[in-house]
Amino acid sequence: MNANRLRTALVTAATGLAVLTVTPPAAQAQQNCVVSGSLVVPVPWSQELLAPDRVWPLSTGAGQRVAVVSTGAADNPQLAGRLAERTTFAPPDTGQPSGSPDCLGTGTGVSGIIAAQPTTVVGFHGVAPGAQILSAKVVGDAYPSGREPRESVAPQTLTAGINWAIDRNATVITVPTITYEDSPALRGAVQRALSRNIVVVAAVGERQPNEPGGLVPYPAAYDGVIGVGSLAENGLVADDSRARAVDLVAPGANVVTTYPNSGLGAVAGTEYATAYVAGTVALIRSYRPQLSTQDVEKRLYATAAPAPEGTGSASYGYGVVNPYQAVSDDVVAGNPVALPPLAPVVTDPEVAARQAAENRSDGWAFGLAAGGFALVLLVTAIVVFGPRGRRRRWRGGLAPVPRDRPEDERPEPPVELFSDRPKRS
């Protein structure tokens, strides 16, 4: 074993982080589950952008139970002690099941962005490391086949996961997994969560090539649900982020998070953007437990960083989630009210004529005053300086032109320094 491999092995053994994998979690198929991640040391760009640790002196999300309705949640050293409860509602897998708690890795990645613990070894950590995770698995080793677009599930499966989270006293429910079917049962589950003062955050999904037109992502499209789009590293919305039902955007392209079993890796998708918003909600609810669901939403929208297209954009919604200001800023209660249109002031003609006459008289008065002041200065100058000029024989006119004096052709040598001193014999 060479020195580099030995160093890697020692670091892996010490940190519980394994070797590099280059395959994103959601790209794996049945019996080919996501493997462990790598040792990613630098601080991810998403953390540099949002800097959630700035608000940790006020809130770490302690006391909050964040449900993740996704592909399950596997163990990871940075999630130690954060996975409070896990259950599954995923349909049976065809073929030989893998037995992995999270074969696709999405739920583990979302959980890591929300609650991964900070370490001295890597730069990555969760937004709200004090929060607990409730994992409702609604996808098995692979997404159900025969559904269009791909990577969607039946609404009744999401309904079961949301209802379970409500019954387990979740304070925040994030739904990274999408269905494109409206369902009375799913709508009812969302309304039940909102009536229990639970904030619901959901992904809007990614546009697929040749997908049918008019697709609506659920539960993001339901009233009261915070729909989240994906932001790229350049500060613009990701190219494939669906511009439908978007209320906020958050980092979701090439973001770093936890992989199943151990390690970290890069992932992409609106499902991971929901984690940044859900973690921010946990920070708010921990610091301001008196706020209602509606108050939390208003706070998120009011403190969001403005998007390039302005508030209300189809792609950006209210803008980029801002954890620090969402927790610390004071937000005025109530709803904004539009101001009435500005009515032009109509001036009476007689009043206008009188004002114009007064302005003209004021102008004449200022002009005369300035002229009088200048005359006083002139008289003062004559009185003060006139006698002195006569005594000194001041005369008017130009100064005489100086005459050119030719220099001596043979100037005297310069006088030597100390030449006046007697010479010593």
pLDDT per residue over 241-286, tens digit each? 999 999 999 999 999 999 999 999 999 999 999 999 999 999 999 9
Query: Cα–chain-centroid distance for residue 288?
Result: 20
- Rounded Cα–Cα distance for residues 220 and 158 (Å): 12
Q: Are 279 and 323 in contact (CB under 8 A)?
A: yes
Alpha carbons 372 and 377: distance in angstroms, whole number: 9
Half-sphere exposure of 15 (CA within 13 A, CB side): 25
Q: What is the 3-state secondary structure (H, E, C) of 98-152?
A: CCCCCCCCHHHHHHHHHHCCCCCCCCCCCCCCCCEEEEEECCCCCCCCCCCCCCE
Instruction: Put the strands of the sheet holding 132-137 in their side by side order.
Output: 83-88, 132-137, 65-70, 172-175, 199-203, 226-231, 248-251
Largest CA distance in the chain: 127
Estimate to the nearest angstrom the gap between the alpha carbon of 144 and the chain centroid.
34
The DSSP element (H or E) to which 218 belongs, if any, is none
> How many CB atoms lie under 10 A from the CB of residue 244?
18
- What does each C-alpha distance from 331 to 295, 297, 304 come to in angstroms? 9, 11, 12
Question: In terms of DSSP bridges, do strands 248-251 and 255-258 run parallel, antiparallel, or are they unpaired?
Answer: unpaired
Assign residue 141 a region (left: φ > 0; alpha: ψ between -120 and 50; beta: otherwise): alpha
Q: What is the pLDDT of residue 10?
A: 31
Low-confidence residues in the chain, pLDDT < 70 = 1-31, 148, 332-339, 342, 384-425
Question: Looking at residue 28, what is its pLDDT?
Answer: 42
* pLDDT, position 20: 34
Query: What is the DSSP secondary structure assignment for residue 418, as one 8-state letter?
Result: T
Sign of the CA dihedral with 318 first, then 226, 23, and 77 last? positive
- Contact yes or no for 296/284 (Cβ under 8 A): yes
Q: Which residue has the tokens 């996808």?
A: 139
Contact 138, 157 (CB under 8 A): yes
Q: Is 409 helix (H, G, I), strand (E, B) or coil?
A: coil
Which residues contact residue 214 at a Cβ distance below 8 angstroms, ignoring those fewer than 6 apart? Answer: none
What pLDDT does residue 14 have?
37
Helix ranges (H only) for 178-292 are 184-195, 270-287
Name the one residue in this structure whose structure tokens are 């001193």. Answer: 421
Strand pairing report for 132-137 and 83-88: parallel
pLDDT, residue 13, reads 35
| Cα angle 287-304-334, degrees, rounded to a multiple of 5 | 70
Structure tokens at 378: 């002139």
Q: Residue 9 has what pLDDT? A: 36
User: Among all chains, which residue has been given the structure tokens 């198929």?
Assistant: 29
Q: Which two tokens stand for residue 361?
A: 């008289």
Instruction: Provide the pLDDT for residue 224.
Output: 97
